[in-house]
Every structure is written in C-alpha cells, then in structure tokens.
Amino acid sequence: MEFKSDIKLKKMYFLYSLWATIPLACISVLLSFIHVIGMVISLTILIALTIFLSIWIPKFYDSIRFRVEENHAYAKYGVWWIKEKRVPYSLVSQVRVRQGPIQRRLGLANVDVFTPATGVLRPEVTFFQLNSIKAQNVQDAIRVKVGLLSPLEKKAVEVEILEELKKIREILERR
C-alpha cells in the first residue's frame, strides 16, 4: 500500500512558519520608527523567507513517499537531504497514532513505528501528516502485519486460551 501525506501538510507547514514570519514583521514595523535601513533589511529577510517557503514546502510535499510493504514499513522524503527509512516488521514493538492540537484541527495525524533496536524513545519511522482516518488504517495494517493486538483483541485471545485450558483440565480430571 503506497500513500503520502495529506495535501493539508502544506497548510500546516505555512502555519508553522508563522512563528518566524510574525515576529519578523513586528520587528520590521518597530524598526521603521527607528531607522529606514533596518526596516528595509528586515522586510527583505521577510520577503526572502516567504519566497523560500513558497518554493520549498510544495517541493517537500512532492518528495514524500510512504509504503506499507509485505515485510517492511518504508518512508522516503526530503528536498536537499533525502531520508530513506525501511523498518522490518520483525523489529517493530509498537505502532501508535499521534496528533497535536493543530493537526487535530486540520484532521491530520502521525503514525509512529517504534523498535527496541535504537534504544531511544523516538520512533524509527513516522508516517507524518496523514489524514486521521488514513492514519488509523495505516496503523491497523501495520499491526496486522506485525501481529500486535489491541487490548480488546488481547482480551479475546486470553479468554479463548482460558476456555481451552478449562477444557483440557476437565479432560485430565476425568482420567
């Protein structure tokens, strides 16, 4: 199953860039009262940053490739520095969907795939900025391939095992 981030990733990254552009715009306004050259410099930086982001964000979006393969989870993305990650399901210990407040508002989510191999508490691979429903489907698909069960599924298996053990016990007690 091949997929990529939701198109709303572009909107999300432009929203993230406001953390830099709004303070820079405020500095430009303040500098305009002090010195014209300072205002021109800060406005030039602001315009350059806006142009850069307008070019880079779509290119980054176009570079994203995710796949849930037969034996691996695969991610490739990047404009200048391309990252390519392939994680075998035999190493996967946990798969979880994560959402931040802006992501929730836009209907996006990340799917984090963890392995114990790295020894750190960050995911080995992340399928980022997916549609929330798609993220849940990807999580379920990987869990099926890995063999990870949800708490309800674990409970159902445990109940089934317990029933089998009770039957075995009855048979052994009759002998």
Burial class (CB in 10 A: 0-12, 13-18, 19+), 73: buried
Query: Where are the chain's structural domains?
Result: 2-62
CB 113 within 8 A of CB 138: no
In the DSSP assignment, the letter for residue 91 is G
Say how many residues make up the chain. 175
CB 35 within 8 A of CB 27: no
Mean pLDDT by 10 residues, the chain (175 residues): 92 89 83 79 86 95 95 94 93 92 94 83 92 94 82 82 92 88
Burial class (CB in 10 A: 0-12, 13-18, 19+), 128: buried
Residue type, 165: L
CB 33 within 8 A of CB 129: no
**Predicted TM-score of the model (pTM):** 0.75
